[in-house]
Amino acid sequence: MSLRYALLALLTSQPLTGYDVFKHFEHSVGYVWHAPDSQIYPELRRMEKDGLLSGVEEPWGKKGKKKRYHITPEGVEAFRAWMNTTLDYSRERDPIHLKAAYLEWADPDAARAQMRAHIDYHSSRVQQWQEMIAALDDRSNPTLARRLEVAPEEDRAKIAGYKIFTYEGMIDRAKAEIEWARRGLELIDKLES
Ligand code: VNL
């Protein structure tokens, strides 16, 4: 269900063809809501059927056509209603913490390998999010740039500011994961010697 809101969020920036939705998604809202294109295309069609988007056929190439998705007033309304709802939380389901609780069953080297993989994964995410913050800060991210072009001057600072705030939170969380996995490595050394 949340993919729908991620797509509505993206399409508040500009009308996009299916392919452009995928390209923009990857470099914007897809950082906070990952989804493969195999989910995106069918969801766009369902959203059109549900009246949240209208697909406008445009000529493409010599005799081709492509559809550009515009958010409808119903789509804007649905997005706003969701934004004004306090979300319910889902209980934790984290395979790494599940494994961490039972590391006495793992070979010490396998346990270390998992902790190192955790550090590597989160370090590379931190790097990507830092790059995203830079691209939001200097307004070079194409989705944000397009959004700002049509936004009233007085809204621009918050449009960028909330996105930067989001990545700062994700970076803090990832750094805490890295610290935790480092403590895990120390703990494994202590308990398995
Ligand atoms: C947008 C641009 C959103 C860049 C982003 O993440 C982002 C946007 C939520 O303008 O929708 O990284």
The ranges assigned to domains in the chain are 2-83, 95-192
% residues pLDDT > 90 (the chain): 98
Ligand 1: distance of its center to the CA of 142 in Å? 9
> How far lies 122's CA from each of 7, 35, 98, 114, in Å?
25, 19, 18, 12
Pocket of ligand 1 (CB under 6 A): 9-10, 13, 28-29, 31-32, 132, 141, 143-144, 147, 163, 166
pTM reported for the whole predicted model: 0.95
CA distance 103 to 96: 10
Return the structure tokens found at 37. 């294109």
Residue with tokens 């990545």: 167
pLDDT for 142 equals 98
Distance from Cα 164 to the centre of ligand 1, integer Å? 9
pLDDT in tens, 13-38: 999 999 999 999 999 999 999 999 99
Residue having the nearest C-alpha atom to atom 12 of ligand 1: 28
Residue 88 phi/psi, 5-degree rounding, is -80, 155
- CATH fold of 2-83, please? Arc Repressor Mutant, subunit A (1.10.10)
* Strand-strand pairing, 64-71 and 53-60: antiparallel
Predicted confidence (pLDDT) at residue 168 exceeds the cutoff of 90 = yes
